[in-house]
Amino acid sequence: DAPLVIAMDGPSGTGKSSAARRLAGSLGAAYLDTGAMYRVATLHALRAGVDLTDAGAVDHATRELPLVIGTDPTHELVELAGEDVRVEIRGAAVTGAVSAVSAVPAVRERLVAAQRALVEQAGRIVVEGRDIGTVVLPAADLKVYLTASAQARAARRADQDGSADRAAVLADVQRRDHLDSTRVASPLRPADDAVTVDTSEIDLDGVLDRLHALVQQVE
């Protein structure tokens, strides 16, 4: 199969991960969850006990990051020093701290380099994150920016986490959006040549239909 690089960006709760994973599976492509990489860096910094508001300390604590991330869309693999951390990186402690760690430019530089190497290796890949179309892979064949209303995103997140407290989930979604889109280093925003897909009113199958139509235009 010919190389194909698809960048999928957007805030949390848009159904981005499910859509990206399924799109990769049906295209016979690899899948890279860059958010998981920032989450592992965050877990590592938390375990080191550093002050997360101290960018220098976060940089130092994550300089050595024994991270393994898989790119098979049907098999999630995330390890920190050989330990399976798939569950822990989705927990409240990491989710609450990840925006601080991902705002540190030195952390981003290292993870972006690792992401580009994984993309190079894969050839055909769907990469999801916040800055894939703008910074990591500006020459991607297709750039999609998924968006949805804050309410729709909070409802999805609450379903995913099994959380009954919609208001708290909405507050967390809005807090993280604000931090991610106002940070100085690689803020969350659509690339100029990205196609925006609003998922507030469409389900996963609808999103997949839309994505397949977009892929057909570039393949």
* Positions in the binding site for ligand C5P (CB under 6 A): 12, 34-35, 38-39, 98-99, 102, 129-132, 176, 180
Place of tokens 């530089």: 109
CB 151, min distance to ligand C5P, A = 18
Nearer to ligand C5P, 61 or 217 (CB): 61
CB 69, min distance to ligand C5P, A = 12
Whole-angstrom distance, CA of residue 42 vs CA of residue 40: 5
CB 167, min distance to ligand C5P, A = 19
Contact call for residues 98 and 42 (beta carbons, < 8 A): yes
Nearer to ligand C5P, 1 or 207 (CB): 207
Task: Look up residue 116 and give its two tokens.
Answer: 């580009």
Nearer to ligand C5P, 29 or 173 (CB): 173
Nearer to ligand C5P, 59 or 131 (CB): 131
CB 176, min distance to ligand C5P, A = 5
CB 177, min distance to ligand C5P, A = 8
Nearer to ligand C5P, 46 or 216 (CB): 46
CB 70, min distance to ligand C5P, A = 15
Nearer to ligand C5P, 29 or 127 (CB): 127
